[in-house]
Chains A and B, each alone.
Chain A
Amino acid sequence: GAVVSQHPSRVICKSGTSVKIECRSLDFQATTMFWYRQFPKQSLMLMATSNEGSKATYEQGVEKDKFLINHASLTLSTLTVTSAHPEDSSFYICSANPGWSGADIQYFGAGTRLSVL
């Protein structure tokens, strides 16, 4: 089946630093990937659509200058949380669709837990 890998699985950083999270599609190419954020005991919230070779599309209320997305290849999208603050602490998850079945089935990474001190 389709495999989406995220790295790192967990990261702790100091306030004011930037953190990069990688999302890779291991056995398929993805022109589009999605980034979600999940706070404790809440549902997933879509942050942005990552488009290979072009700018990401951000959901309303998501700061594009704070959450930088780069989709430089068909198998890799990165999310950089710039100048992280404690309120950015969250579970970040990416997804992609291999397009094998014709249906829009999203495969998710295992997530990255960010803790900002």
Chain B
Amino acid sequence: DAKTTQPPSMDCAEGRAANLPCNHSTISGNEYVYWYRQIHSQGPQYIIHGLKNNETNEMASLIITEDRKSSTLILPHATLRDTAVYYCISTTSNTGKLIFGQGTTLQVKP
């Protein structure tokens, strides 16, 4: 599975879009990019995933660059409840195992 690199922390103003970057420059052709988040002292929560096309669901949008070496998770209107650690994971998805990096701590401020 490709190694991912994320900034350790970011701030975002409440109501504004939060854009969380992830670098996965060694990603292979059959590896998906998954995003999870973990609110303090809870289990992680699935957000979104994609292979090469941009994806959108009720929680967020995922923008993957054409060369697939990086991606951005977009929370369109961040709220205080979006304060969490966000994990970007690249995996072939055939084992179910997730290897978590350090993630990005997003602090949404009023």
Contact = CB atoms under 8 A, between A and B. Distances in A.
Given A43-B100, A95-B44, 13 more contacts: A32-B96, A34-B97, A43-B103, A44-B38, A44-B100, A46-B97, A49-B95, A93-B43, A97-B96, A103-B49, A106-B44, A106-B96, A108-B45
Contacts, number: 58
Interface in B24-57: 32, 34, 36, 38, 41-46, 49
A108 B96 contact: no
Contact of A109 (B43, B93, B98): B43
Interface residues of A, number: 24
Interface in A1-58: 4, 6, 32, 34, 36, 43-46, 49
A110 B40 CA distance: 11
